[in-house]
Chain A
Amino acid sequence: MNILFIEDDPMNRRVVSDMLDVAGAVMTGAESAEIGLKLIDEQDFNIVLLDLRMPGMDGFEALERIRARGDAKAQLPVIVVTADIAPDLRDRCLALGADEVMFKPVAMDSLFDAIGRMLAKPGAGMIG
């Protein structure tokens, strides 16, 4: 299982990478939205984890671009992972097409739970 994490903070990438390692999942890190979008073009991922506040293109725009794709990857499950606490943030992300919004600090159990639920969606992937 390959999970893409678009996040500019190296520590956060490291933390999530180590967490996913516990569950035997592989994480690919992208330090900017631009790099992340390019990786989605090149590789197949099961799930995208997406930070919101990043220099250059932010998470909102990246989310919009993923959803605007013409191919099947437009349906990639996207989990927004943010430290922002603006009251309308969750609704904004869901309106843009995010499948799930999680707030930092992220509890490992909730992360696994969210990923598991994404994978259970039809067409998301195989068990094994």
Chain B
Amino acid sequence: MGRIISSRTLVSFLAALMLVTGIVASPIAAAQQPVSSAPASFEAMIADAKAAMLVDPHQTIAKAQAARSIAGRLPAAERPVAVATIQWLQGEAYLRLDDTAHAGPLIQQALAAVSGTRRPTKLNGDILLSLGGYHTAIADVANALDDYQRAHNIFRDIGETRSRAVALLSIALLYQEAKDYPNALKYYDQARDVYRGDPQLLLTIYNNRGNALKEIGRYAEAEAQFREALTLAKSMGSPTQVARVLRNIARSQIMSGHIANAEQTITQGFALGRQGSEGAAATEQFWGIAAQAALQRGDLVKARTLIERSFAAGDDGNTLGAREGHETAYNIYRKLGDDKQALVHLEALKKLDDKTSQLAASTNTALAAARFDFANQELKIAKLQRDEAQRTVEFERSRARTQLFIFVGAAVVTVVIVTMLGFGLITIRRSRNEVRAANVDLAHTNSALAKALAAKTEFLATTSHEIRTPLNGILGMTQVMLADRTLGEALRDRIGVVHGAGITMRALVDDILDVAKMETGNLTIEQAVFDLRATLTDLSRMWQEQAQGKGITFALDLTDCPQWVEGDAARLRQVAFNLLSNALKFTEAGTVTLRAAEAAGADGPRLKIEVCDTGIGIAADKHELIFESFRQADGGTTRKFGGTGLGLSICRNLARAMGGDVTVVSAPGQGATFTLLLPLIRAAAPEAVTAEEQAETGALLIVDRNPITRAMLRTMLEPRAGTVLFAASVDEAVERIAVGGIALVLADEGTVKTAEDVDAALAMLAHTASAAGAATALLWAGLDDSQRDRLAATGIATIIAKPIAGPALAALLYPMEACDDLAPNHLATHAA
């Protein structure tokens, strides 16, 4: 008990209790409800349907259905309540049959039907209890808690103490589910204090109190509670109940290490076999626990006989709980060296654990939502306090606290289960002890969780820093090697692979860093004017190649794209980069399109950037999921397509930081369209650009292969030359000059000297340049007169001695007073 996997057992147990309520209290209920004035046959049919519930819920459904026709003939004012009663009964019956798909809508319809009544009735509370049961069954804990609280308040207001106790018990069970045993115990106490008139209810409370105490290691107190339950069970003359309590006592004794006592208890259990057929059936359930005791004693042979008998009796899901049974069996077979059998149970265990973790995950998601409510609850509390509505305050406060505790509880369960999946299959016992220890103090865990979150962010930041250092070595050296012109093609190819992998890794580290920044709120958005068309065109170039390599068409549509806008170019580029990377990753054939255009928005013009693909698509229910950190739509795609799953989460965060959002439209097999919408701030083109465009007199072509010199020359000459182009050799320069648009060619000795015949190369350069109307200049080191003459003979107009300071060179090539038509002549005179 107490594990999430056992929720079904708890739910049905609870359902049984509720039904008892319905039957026992039906005369009172009838007296209170308007249905009382209906023809006697309707009441009788409902009572009949209720009575059938414990025996056979199918009958209840059929009988309630039969009552529908009569309900239709009731006076209009009474009809809604009658129909709601039928729907509730049928919903409850389906719930007891584990058919949540049918149960949910029926119970919700019933609730809707009675929610219009001015004063809540017991039926209202009963329906809410059923709804809570339904929400628990579908692991929607937050809503279940809400349902039970509402039911409790109704029962309290109309003085239904027994039902009120049932509601409190339901809440306690939720806490037990969340492994918040101290709170579970508190609610069990309340339930016990509110109503002591029903032995069955009390038995349940004592039994569960015992389980909660057992889970937190208070074995002596647990046994005392079980003893109370045992006395009640015996007085009720129910061997099944006696057996249930005895097994709990035995389990608690085994856990506290009192094996001899446990064995005595088990003997008592088997002795139930003498109490008729019900007793005989009950004894069947002691084999598993007896196997556990034998295992603890070290009597493996006996343990094996007992566990085999247990499974043979079909006892794999009732007495020990499926997980416990398989775990016991696994431990026995492993110790016996029967690896094959051990594996069978280990696999069964794994399956159950998978199920559990899924359940925990969904519970966790539900509770995450509940956490946001928590903040609202606190606000409400403040308001209510002002109005001095003290009683309500107590409730709101406890409800907020409840949601918080449940949330933390489920978070702990999730953490624990993740841990168990990792280590648990090998060291199940140890991890179980850890689970128990982790549950001892939830308040402590809560603060630990907060610390863990901070530690995670810190860890991300530190790790990415540490990864960047070795990456610097890898990427640095691959760049150096790739810069070596003598590198063989095969080797270049391989180093290229290393380099590409390094670049990808750097992108991942950057992604992780961004997540860390987002979590700490350190993400900054710049606001500057940039050329959107150029940014997107530049970005597309890289993906165009990738797409080609994959055999996919890449289309860039900038027809309606504004050019100069204000915003964060780097961040916009990052979002578009991630969206394109995503589109290409999940597309095997067809087209990936990048489209940018202006769109109308409610509060002004928007920039709309779309990335459409013809890939595998995404199911509608996964559309939000994929924007969460570390998530892809399907676990399997992670293996197939790789990636951290951070990209889309980052995109959304960045888009929102920029005042927009990213959304997706897609269906499986239909491709996907991701849309980035941002506020559009159009800007004027920067003056420098307009000036440059207006004064386009022809470019400067620099013939220099040294990257540092190139950067230096560009910085110095670009303000005067406008456009600066580069060539790595004389041959390349000649080709470029022939294309046209060059006003001046500046060649450097170092690069010119790589030509086989330097003079011939220079002559060719001078000839091509003069034919194209371009001036020529040459930088040469250690010039003497004879050298100068030899170089001038090649036809180069200006020979400049190195070294020369940057400003001097700029002044020499582009005299400030020079007019466009005079510039080339000027150069010649200067040089002479």
Contacts from A to B (Cβ < 8 Å): 1, 9, 11-12, 15-16, 18-19, 21-25, 83-85, 87, 103-109, 112-117, 119-128
Contacts and interface: CB of A to CB of B under 8 A. Distances in A.
Nearest to A115: B708
A11 B804 CA distance: 35
A117 B711 contact: yes
A118 to B, nearest CB: 8
Interface of B: 461, 464-465, 468-477, 479-480, 483-484, 502, 506, 513, 517, 522, 524, 706-716, 750, 779, 781, 802-807, 809
B806 A15 contact: no
A122 B806 contact: yes
A121 B807 CA distance: 8
Contact of A128 (B461, B471, B804): B804
Overall SS of chain B's interface: helix
B708 A108 contact: no
13 contacts: A9-B469, A11-B470, A22-B480, A22-B483, A23-B708, A85-B465, A87-B517, A104-B469, A105-B476, A105-B502, A106-B472, A120-B715, A127-B779
Contacts of A84: 465
Given A1-B708, A23-B706, A128-B781, A108 B479 contact: yes
A116 B726 CA distance: 15
A119 B716 CA distance: 9
B78 to A, nearest CB: 68
A18 B476 contact: yes
Contacts of B716: 120
Nearest to A122: B807
B810 to A, nearest CB: 9
Contacts of B802: 126-128
Contacts of A105: 468, 471-472, 474-476, 502, 506
B472 A104 contact: yes
Given A105-B506, A108-B480, A127-B779, A83 B469 contact: yes
B473 A11 contact: yes
Contacts of B513: 85
A115 B706 CA distance: 12
B468 to A, nearest CB: 5
Nearest to A19: B480
B672 to A, nearest CB: 32
A116 B715 contact: yes
Contacts of A119: 708, 711-712, 806
A112 B475 CA distance: 15
A107 B596 CA distance: 30
Contacts of A22: 480, 483-484, 707
B468 A83 contact: yes
A16 B708 CA distance: 14
A15 B708 contact: no
A20 B479 CA distance: 11
Given A84-B465, A85-B465, A104-B468, A115 B476 contact: no
A128 B779 contact: yes
A15 B469 CA distance: 11
B804 A25 contact: no
B480 A128 contact: no
A127 B805 contact: yes
Contact of B711 (A16, A19, A113): A113
Contacts of B468: 83, 103-105
A120 B475 CA distance: 27
Contacts of A120: 711-713, 715-716, 806
Given A127-B802, A128-B802, A116 B708 contact: yes
> What are the 4 A-B residue pairs with the smallest beta carbon separation, nearest first?
A116-B711, A128-B803, A128-B802, A15-B476
Nearest to A112: B707
A127 B806 contact: yes
Contact of B465 (A83, A106, A114, A115): A83
Contact of B805 (A115, A116, A126): A126
B711 A115 contact: yes
B806 A107 contact: no
B804 A15 contact: no
A126 B803 contact: yes
Contact of B476 (A19, A85, A114, A128): A19
A12 B714 contact: no
B479 A19 contact: yes
A23 to B, nearest CB: 4
A112 B804 CA distance: 20
Contacts of B781: 128
A127 B476 contact: no
Contacts of A16: 476
B705 to A, nearest CB: 9
Contact of B707 (A116, A124, A125): A116
Contacts of B803: 126-128
Given A84-B465, A108-B483, A127-B709, A15 B477 contact: yes
Nearest to B524: A87
A1 B473 CA distance: 23
Given A119-B806, A127-B712, 12 more contacts: A12-B473, A15-B472, A18-B477, A85-B464, A108-B479, A117-B712, A120-B712, A122-B806, A123-B805, A125-B806, A127-B803, A128-B802
Nearest to B520: A87
Nearest to A18: B480
Contacts of B484: 22
B239 to A, nearest CB: 69
Contacts of B805: 122-123, 125-127
Contacts of B479: 19, 107-108
